[in-house]
């Protein structure tokens, strides 16, 4: 004799009420069991040859956000015609729209559908609206109402006019079609014989309580058996965002390589962000389309760096003792105090080179939040992270820099090969751009690098070479995670955050 547990018996009884066949959702509704309980019972009943479970692929229709809005308030043309009829059947378009509480962007849509459905016509060069006949509810409104009540509808189960309405509403971007997998549970001949025996459901105990143990009643109750191979409801433990974990791992690797972390403010003065980096004060990068300026207060202080400021000033004007001729303009000390949001992590390198704790030789890094008013697209954000680094020491060459960059691309981003392109920055010479390739992903630009010019290092009191780089760490992660849109790093997609794994 086949032994059945409580949930299995309830599932069989629910199927009997459903004439031997039903979807998991129907069994859940009929039996009163949880979805996971029905699925576990179906799995066990399938092993006992009492039921079969098959999957059916179906197309379902659901409302979009705009569709939900119109499902609650009514289609724009319905709201407009009802307002027009209340105004006597003829009224100015503007007044009709206001009385209908219709947003202006929906007016052209409403007018177009009023004409298409033959509910009203526009007169006097588009200024007056006149009702024509009595508007009846169409299949598009019927479908919208049903979706509002039920959430989803299977397209194949809709009657002909409603299937046509799906196409109409889809063209208006009020609904979207999705694939849905439906699991159908069906009694086998053996299962039919089992339920015909009028099953008596015996209540099972799944947990021993102190009362059952003390009273001794545990000897009389039926203890539920557990199938440890049965599917369970997915549970998601708290964890770090994949990108946050990537940044932590990046920092750990750099520290393990002997780098020390640099820190500094996000609100920075133009002195550290530009002037000390030998960027002329009329450079386009310093304009309103290149940086975010602070409104209040507009200016900061570099009082502790007055001697350095004077050296930087002379370097800009005539080259000072750097061997350069400078930029040949009059350096503004007020401009150097202007406050901005940090535009690149290299500002932290300047602060580190001026620090009394600087070690030579030494290696330093920072994962810096930076801000630029860039046009947001697949590879650019107006707020982004940059991994900044410097290596300070004697006898350093470009070859050393290229080696560091190659390790970044291969070890951190998982790239297969790298390229180096000549580039230009006011503060480095030579300057190099890092580009990397990953099979199945393609080429991606990571950022710039170079060796600090004497115009940068000498005013800061540094007499040895300084290798420097500033790479888009967001892009490093994009390649590692095989993402093609940088905006996805900050999307609120819980399913992706829960399931995404990285190797």
Write out pLDDT tens, residues 400-438: 999 988 988 888 878 899 999 999 999 999 999 999 998
- Same structural domain for residues 376 and 256? yes
Cβ proximity of 363 and 260 under 8 Å: yes
Give me the CATH number covering residue 482. 3.30.930.10
Q: Are residues 367 and 398 in the same domain?
A: yes
Together in a domain, 127 and 10? no
Contacts of 298 (CB under 8 A, 6+ apart): 338, 339
What is the total count of domains within the chain?
3
Is 149 buried (19+), middle (13-18) or exposed (0-12) by CB count in 10 A? Answer: exposed
Pairing mode, strands 204-205 and 222-223: parallel
Instruction: Determine the structural domain holding residue 421 and report its residue range.
Output: 245-266+342-499
Count of C-beta atoms within a 10 Å radius of residue 397: 11
pLDDT of 202 reads 53
- Cβ atoms 485, 493 nearer than 8 A: no
φ/ψ of 53, rounded to 5, equals -125, 125
Judge whether 342 and 267 are in contact, CB under 8 Å: yes
| Residue 204, pLDDT score | 65
493 and 383 fall within a common domain: yes
Contact 447, 386 (CB under 8 A): yes
In terms of domains, do 116 and 254 share one? no
Q: How far apart are CA 206 and CA 197, in angstroms?
A: 26
* pLDDT above 60 (res 232): yes
Q: Are residues 349 and 217 in the same domain?
A: no
Angstrom CA distances, 171 to 42, 70, 79, 152, stand at: 40, 15, 20, 18
Q: Which distant-in-sequence residues (6+ apart) come within 8 Å of 229 by Cβ?
A: none
73 and 46 within one domain:
no
Residue 173, SS3 per DSSP? coil
CATH code at position 115: 1.10.10.10
Q: Are residues 53 and 87 in the same domain?
A: no
**Do residues 77 and 219 share a domain?**
no
Given this model, what pLDDT does residue 475 score? 84
Backbone angles phi, psi at 268, to 5 degrees: -125, 155
**Same domain, yes or no: 356 and 385:** yes
Task: Tell me the per-residue pLDDT of 152-210, one tens digit each, with 9 for 90 and over.
Answer: 888 888 888 898 999 999 999 999 998 888 889 999 998 888 887 765 555 566 777 88
| Segment 65-107, tens digit of pLDDT | 999 999 998 999 999 898 988 898 889 888 888 888 888 888 8
37, 7 in Cβ contact below 8 A? yes
Per-residue pLDDT, 264: 93
pLDDT of residue 439: 87
Are the C-beta atoms of residues 22 and 14 closer than 8 Å to each other? yes
Flag whether 97 is in a domain.
yes
């Amino acid at each position: 004799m086949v032994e059945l547990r409580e949930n299995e018996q309830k599932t069989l009884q629910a199927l009997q009420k459903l004439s031997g066949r039903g979807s998991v959702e129907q069994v859940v509704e009929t039996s009163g069991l949880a979805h996971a309980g029905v699925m576990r019972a179906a799995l066990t009943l399938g092993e006992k040859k009492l039921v079969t479970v098959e999957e059916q692929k179906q197309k379902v229709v659901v409302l979009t956000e705009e569709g939900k809005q119109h499902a609650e308030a009514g289609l724009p043309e319905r709201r407009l015609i009802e307002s027009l009829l209340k105004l006597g059947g003829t009224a100015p378009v503007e007044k009709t729209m206001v009385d209908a509480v219709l947003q202006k962007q929906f007016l052209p849509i409403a007018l177009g559908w009023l004409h298409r459905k033959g509910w009203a016509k526009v007169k006097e060069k588009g200024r007056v609206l006149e009702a024509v006949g009595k508007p009846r509810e169409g299949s598009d409104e019927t479908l919208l109402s049903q979706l509002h009540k039920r959430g989803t509808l299977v397209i194949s189960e809709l009657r002909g006019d409603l299937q046509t309405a799906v196409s109409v509403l889809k063209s208006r971007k009020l609904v979207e079609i999705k694939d849905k997998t439906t699991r159908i549970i069906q009694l086998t001949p053996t299962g039919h014989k089992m339920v015909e025996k009028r099953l008596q459901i015996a209540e099972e105990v799944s947990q021993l309580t102190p009362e059952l143990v003390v009273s001794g009643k545990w000897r009389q109750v039926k203890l539920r058996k557990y199938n440890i191979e049965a599917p369970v409801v997915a549970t998601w433990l708290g964890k770090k965002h994949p990108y946050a974990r990537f940044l932590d791992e990046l920092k750990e690797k750099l520290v393990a390589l002997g780098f020390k972390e640099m820190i500094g403010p996000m609100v920075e003065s133009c002195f550290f962000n530009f002037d000390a980096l030998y960027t002329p004060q009329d450079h386009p990068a310093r304009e309103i389309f290149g940086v975010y300026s602070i409104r209040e207060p507009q200016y900061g202080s570099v009082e502790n760096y007055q001697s350095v400021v004077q050296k930087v000033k002379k370097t800009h004007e005539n080259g000072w003792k750097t061997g350069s001729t400078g930029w040949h303009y009059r350096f503004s000390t007020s401009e150097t105090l202007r406050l901005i949001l940090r535009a690149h992590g290299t500002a932290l390198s300047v602060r580190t080179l001026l620090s009394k704790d600087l070690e030579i030789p030494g290696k330093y890094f920072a994962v810096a939040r930076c801000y630029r008013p860039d046009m947001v697209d697949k590879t650019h954000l107006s707020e982004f992270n940059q991994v900044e680094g410097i290596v300070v020491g004697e006898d350093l060459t470009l070859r050393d820099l290229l080696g560091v960059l190659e390790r970044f691309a291969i070890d951190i981003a998982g790239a297969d090969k790298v390229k180096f392109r000549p580039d230009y920055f006011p503060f480095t010479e030579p300057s190099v751009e890092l580009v990397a390739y990953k099979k199945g992903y393609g080429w991606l630009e990571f950022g710039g690098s170079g060796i600090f010019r004497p115009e940068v290092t000498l005013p800061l009191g540094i007499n040895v070479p300084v290798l420097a780089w500033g790479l888009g760490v967001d892009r490093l992660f994009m390649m590692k995670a095989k993402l093609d849109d940088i905006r996805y790093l900050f999307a609120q997609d819980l399913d992706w955050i829960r399931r995404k794994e990285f190797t």
